[in-house]
Amino acid sequence: MHRRTFLILPLVCLTLLLVGLLPGSGRTADRLMAIPTKHTYAQLVTRLNAAIKAEDMFVVSRASASVGASRRGVKIPGNMVVGVFRNDFAVRMLNASVSAGIEAPIRFYVTENADGTGTLRYRWPSTVFARHDGGPALIALGRELDRIWEAIANRAVKG
């Protein structure tokens, strides 16, 4: 009995480890980027908008708890979620995986630090799409968007 347990236990542990790493399990590497900058929060928002345009992408949505709070007379540090995408990518995404449509637009998140500077956060598009079965076409799209997201982030934070 002990010998059987000795053989089965490593197989069970390996199986649990592999299942935990499969896309869709909620345990894939998050690949959340957080880039502190020397720019003020407001400057970073402006720079992000310019970078999105320079990379031929579009702002599809915007949400800010700090703007909403200020309308109620409450002051909280600046924050803004910016949804970014483009229709040709949307068509390719949906052709690969209808379920991946819930991920679009893919977001950037700008937050204000205690010293007034801003931090830019985003998840790599390939990681966002990894939750969906879209085969090689969705994988390729995610990787293509990774390069664009990295370029947007670099433009926004550098200089």
The pTM score is: 0.81
Nearest to 131 by CA among 96, 107, 103, 159: 103
Quick: pLDDT tens for 26-74.
Answer: 333 578 999 999 999 999 999 999 999 999 999 999 999 999 999 999 9
Nearest to 24 by CA among 103, 135, 138, 132: 132
Task: Kindly provide the residue ranges of all beta strands, DSSP E only, lying in the chain, ordered along the sequence.
Answer: 32-40, 58-63, 79-85, 106-112, 117-123
Query: β-pairing, 79-85 with 106-112?
Result: antiparallel
Quick: pLDDT tens for 74-85.
Answer: 999 999 999 999
